[in-house]
Amino acid sequence: MKTKFFNKAMFLLMVCVCAVLLTSCGNKDGNTSSGQTETTRSSTQQEQKSESDKKDETKEDISAPETSDTNSKAEDITEGTKNNTLVVCFSRTGNTEKIAKHLTELTGADEYVIEAAVPYTDDDIKYQDDNCRANQEQNDKTVRPAIANPIASIDGYDTVFLGYPIWWGQEPRIIDTFLESYDFSDKTVIPFCTSGSSSIETSERNIKELVTIGNQLEGRRFPAGASKDDVKEWYDTLPLNEENKDMKLKLSVNGTELTATLEDNSSAQALTELLKQGDITVDMSDYGGFEKVGDLPQSLPRNDERITTVPGDIILYEGSKITIYYAENTWNFTKLGHIDNIQQEELKAILSDGDVTVTLSN
């Protein structure tokens, strides 16, 4: 009886031992072969990292160059390119993206919104904090934040609008990452930005110095809430097609090169035709504390109407005199065009106080 009980007990014990062994083997296999289990474990370990470790990681992320890893996620939007034009933008709080949307609607172009591989959190852009990520990046010209969704190629595009917010007077470093990732040597690039108040100029210079661009057009800064009409007004002045190219005028004033957009009238057309024969140099003198005026080599057709000038207006006076206005005046004369993207103070400084020699060309 005792032996029988002993045998039964031994059998049960053996069954239990085998069951335990089998289960533990099964677990072992699960741990080594299941990625899921490993991942869970490593993410738990990650969560347990100390705060200082996390800070170090952030530092690495800031200076981390583009990795080949991100290329595998490249967006292929070059299929079926529209108008050979691409509107690219990076926008953290949506202002620049709104301008980009207006542009894509106006141009029918493709749109590409750059996303950071490590997204910018609200804390990352708290510019009041010297140590926030955006400030650290802007303080270091070599930082190239990785892009989460790089496009495979820009070969199908001739024209690239490039939009960004101004961060500490410049383009965010992720824009530099984008620029250095492609060949722009045969592209027309047109920067645009939004900002609280800073101009686009420093970023335009940075872009010019950073990469070779076939033709970098003058950019435009917009305030955050700029309307589609504001964007259209600018877009219509761009020399992107033959018609607009003809309607541009170059002015060289005391060594400063300016461009102007000509009016759509017979006077401006006649001036354009005249300039096809060669550049025209006009000696201009100051008049009335609001304009510089000089004689054209020949008269142009008049389209006189009562106009109140604004700084930058180029006016045909009595058919034979050309004037550049740096202040307001109301008179009956013909508008020939307007100097692009110039403020009154800047124009006054370029024109100086006295006489000035201006060379006009197409």
Which positions touch ligand FMN (CB under 6 A)?
A: 91-97, 125, 127, 134, 165-169, 194-198, 224
CA distance between the termini of the chain: 118
Q: Which is nearer to ligand FMN, 172 or 337 (CB)?
A: 172
For the bound state, the minimum distance from the C-beta of residue 219 to ligand FMN, rounded and expressed in Å, comes to: 14
DSSP H or E segment with residue 87 = strand 85-89
Length of the chain: 362
**Smallest gap, in angstroms, from Cβ of residue 66 to ligand FMN?**
21
Report the nearest approach of ligand FMN to the CB of residue 135 (Å).
Answer: 6
Residue nearest to ligand FMN as judged by C-beta position = 165
Between 101 and 321, CB nearer to ligand FMN: 101
Task: Quote the Cα angle for 140-67-71, to 5°.
Answer: 130
CB of 221 to ligand FMN, least distance (A): 9
Query: Residue 276 CB: number of other CB atoms within 10 A?
Result: 8
To the nearest whole angstrom, how small is the minimum distance from the Cβ of residue 137 to ligand FMN?
Answer: 9
Residue 161 or residue 325: which is nearer to ligand FMN going by CB?
A: 161
Residue type, 348: K
- The 8 Å CB, 24+ separation contacts for 243-251 are 246/272, 246/362, 247/272, 247/337, 248/362, 249/275, 249/314, 249/336, 249/337, 249/360, 249/361, 249/362, 250/360, 250/361, 250/362, 251/324, 251/339, 251/358, 251/359, 251/360
Taking the complex as a whole, the smallest distance from the CB of residue 68 to ligand FMN amounts, in Å, to 28
Among left, alpha and beta (phi > 0; psi -120 to 50; other), residue 277 is alpha
Q: Which is nearer to ligand FMN, 125 or 296 (CB)?
A: 125
Q: How far is the CB of 141 from ligand FMN (least distance, A)?
A: 15
In the bound state with ligand FMN, the residue whose beta carbon lies nearer, of 135 and 309, is 135
* CA-closest candidate to residue 173, choices 92, 85, 104: 92
R_g over Cα of the chain: 32
- In sign, the C-alpha dihedral spanning 150, 156, 160, 163 is negative
Is the Cβ of residue 207 or residue 300 nearer to ligand FMN in the bound state? Answer: 207
11 vs 168, beta carbon nearer ligand FMN: 168
